[in-house]
């Protein structure tokens, strides 16, 4: 018991130290090169994954062009979903559409706010719309956007929460394709309500892009939900060979 407590304290210290050191570095770099600042964010992700003994395994069902922008959408049951997505999409410049409440987290929230991520105040519909339009402008620069369509963390092993509509409206307004990501196993690494991550493996299954032209919002939402349901934690287990066979 004592050794477990000690290990947990070391993991928390690693996360805190990485955040305190690399957060200000990312903000400083962002003042002159936001893309370089994102590389610092990736270093933060890598350090936290390695320090906490978490391994991310990415499987792509289609080829993605790192030089074009996409709207990535993922299921969300753990804070480690953020780290898993960044690790799985390492060649992309990602900016998160995040709720305003996250900016209150010491150091992390401040760094997120000042490194180009899109913060949405869901209590102010006009501001939320303006933020999504700003996200569209960023995508014109080749930046990809990452969205959790459920809007908050759900419970591991439970059905997906109802989707928020903003991300799908962004796709329809801009014409950029949506790429669904099914993240598996993160709920065992750091369940909702827990503060100490466990070591282990997270799988990220990256689906083929969903073109939005000619589709209405409800159909796009259905396709994203179907993918996340078919490949998420509650779906049947798939081996590497299964995923290779399902790839386009």
**Domains of the chain and CATH, by start:** 55-246 (3.40.1130.10)
Query: Residue 116: its pLDDT value, please?
Result: 85
Residue 203 has pLDDT above 60, yes or no: yes
Q: Kindly list the distances between the CA atom of residue 144 and the CA atoms of 38, 136, 228, 229, in Å, as whole numbers in the listed order.
A: 12, 9, 19, 23
pLDDT tens digits along 38-73:
999 999 999 999 999 999 999 999 999 999 999 999
8 Å CB contact between 23 and 111: yes
Query: Residue 112: its pLDDT value, please?
Result: 84
Q: What is the CA radius of gyration of the chain?
A: 18
pLDDT band at 186 (very low <50, low <70, confident <90, very high): very high
pLDDT tens digits along 225-248:
999 999 987 666 666 666 666 676
8 Å CB contact between 105 and 49: no
pLDDT band at 109 (very low <50, low <70, confident <90, very high): confident
pTM (predicted TM-score): 0.89
Distance separating alpha carbons of residues 210 and 2, to the nearest angstrom: 49
pLDDT tens digits along 156-184:
888 899 999 889 989 998 999 999 999 99
User: What DSSP string runs through 42-103?
Assistant: HHHHHHHHHHTTEEEEEEESS---TTS--EEEE--SSTHHHHHHHHHTTTS-EEEEEEGGGG
Whether the CA torsion 64, 46, 183, 135 is positive or negative: it is negative
Distance separating alpha carbons of residues 189 and 93, to the nearest angstrom: 25
Residue 1 has pLDDT above 60, yes or no: no
Burial class (CB in 10 A: 0-12, 13-18, 19+), 132: buried
């Amino acid at each position: 018991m004592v050794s477990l407590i000690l290990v947990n304290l070391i993991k928390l210290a690693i996360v805190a130290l990485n955040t305190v050191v690399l957060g200000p570095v990312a903000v400083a770099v962002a003042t002159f090169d936001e893309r370089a600042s994102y590389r610092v964010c990736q270093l933060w992700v890598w350090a936290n994954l390695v320090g906490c003994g978490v391994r991310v395994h990415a499987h792509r069902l289609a080829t993605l062009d790192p030089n074009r922008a996409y709207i990535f959408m993922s299921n969300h049951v753990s804070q480690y979903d953020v780290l898993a997505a960044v690790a799985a999409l390492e060649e992309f410049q990602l900016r998160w559409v995040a709720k305003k409440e996250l900016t209150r987290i010491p150091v992390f929230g401040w760094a997120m706010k000042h490194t180009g991520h899109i913060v949405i105040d869901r209590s102010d519909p006009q501001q939320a719309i303006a933020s999504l339009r700003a996200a569209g402008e960023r995508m014109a620069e080749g930046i990809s956007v990452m969205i959790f369509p459920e809007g908050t963390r759900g419970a591991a092993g439970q059905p997906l929460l109802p989707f928020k509509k903003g991300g799908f409206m962004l796709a329809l307004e801009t014409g950029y394709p949506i790429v669904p990501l099914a993240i598996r196993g993160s709920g065992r690494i750091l369940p909702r309500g827990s503060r100490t991550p466990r070591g282990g493996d997270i799988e990220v299954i990256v689906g083929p892009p969903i073109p939005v032209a000619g589709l209405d919002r409800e159909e796009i939402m259905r396709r994203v939900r179907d993918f996340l349901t078919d490949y998420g934690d509650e779906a049947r287990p798939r081996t590497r060979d299964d995923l290779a066979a399902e790839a386009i």
